[in-house]
């Protein structure tokens, strides 16, 4: 999907709920698109967006990210380091299956794609009656590079 199409889709989703695609929000969405693999914190989004729209305030960034998340446009990620990260949802099926590999030493965040959770979710529904709508799977450990450093 092109960026323009994505922006139009965001505009439609906003207007459906009586919200507007303001220049600030457009700038934020563009930052998220440009960093769709970037795991940006709210502060990161703020700093990047300032380059496109220097007058923007941090509160606007938080409010926009919260709104966009409630619309399903943005995914909020929590790596357990005390701040949330934000990723634009590109609408592909795979993103549901993309998990994070967090290195305890260097803090680097890798990704891993897998659909094995499907089966677990089905079993949860059958065995407990809980209706799963989303999940968060994080693995902690040492990345390849940090292991090699430790070996030497």
Contact partner at residue 97 from DNA, a second copy, none, CB < 5 to 8 Å by partner kind: none
- In the complex, which residues of this chain contact DNA (CB under 7 A)? 14, 18-20, 22-25, 41-43, 53, 55-60, 62-64, 66-67, 82-84
CA gyration radius for the chain? 18
- Exposed / middle / buried, residue 50 (Cβ in 10 Å: 0-12, 13-18, 19+): middle
For 88, the enclosing helix (H) or strand (E) is strand 84-88
Q: Quick one: residue 129, left, alpha or beta (phi over 0 = left, psi -120 to 50 = alpha)?
A: left
Q: How far apart are CA 75 and CA 78, in angstroms?
A: 10
Closest CB to a second copy among 8 and 114?
A: 114
Contact partner at residue 42 from a second copy, DNA, none, CB < 5 to 8 Å by partner kind: DNA
Q: Which stretch binds a second copy (CB under 8 A): 10-18, 19-27, 67-75, 96-104?
A: 96-104
Contact partner at residue 101 from a second copy, DNA, none, CB < 5 to 8 Å by partner kind: a second copy
Single residue of 9, 114, 122, 149 touching a second copy by CB under 8 A: 114
- What's the Cα-to-Cα distance from 70 to each of 57, 109, 110, rounded to whole Å? 20, 25, 26
Contact partner at residue 114 from DNA, a second copy, none, CB < 5 to 8 Å by partner kind: a second copy
What's the longest Cα–Cα distance across the chain? Answer: 59
Single residue of 43, 70, 132, 149 touching a second copy by CB under 8 A: 132
Closest CB to a second copy among 34 and 102?
A: 102
- What's the Cα-to-Cα distance from 132 to each of 35, 55, 81, 121, rounded to whole Å? 28, 41, 25, 7
Single residue of 23, 83, 139, 149 touching a second copy by CB under 8 A: 139
59 binds a second copy (CB under 8 A): no
């Amino acid at each position: 999907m092109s960026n323009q199409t994505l922006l139009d889709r965001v505009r439609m989703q906003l207007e459906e709920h009586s919200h507007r695609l303001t220049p600030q929000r457009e700038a934020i969405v563009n930052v998220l698109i440009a960093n769709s693999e970037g795991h940006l914190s709210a502060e990161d989004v703020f700093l990047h967006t300032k380059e496109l729209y220097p007058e923007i305030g941090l509160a606007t960034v938080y409010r926009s990210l919260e709104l966009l998340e409630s619309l399903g446009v943005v995914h909020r990620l929590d790596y357990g380091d005390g701040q949330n990260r934000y990723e634009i949802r590109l609408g592909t099926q795979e993103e549901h299956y993309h998990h994070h590999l967090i290195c305890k030493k260097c803090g680097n965040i890798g990704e891993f794609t897998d659909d094995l959770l499907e089966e677990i979710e089905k079993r949860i529904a059958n065995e407990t009656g809980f209706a799963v709508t989303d999940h968060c799977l994080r693995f902690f450990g040492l990345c390849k590079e940090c292991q090699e450093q430790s070996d030497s």
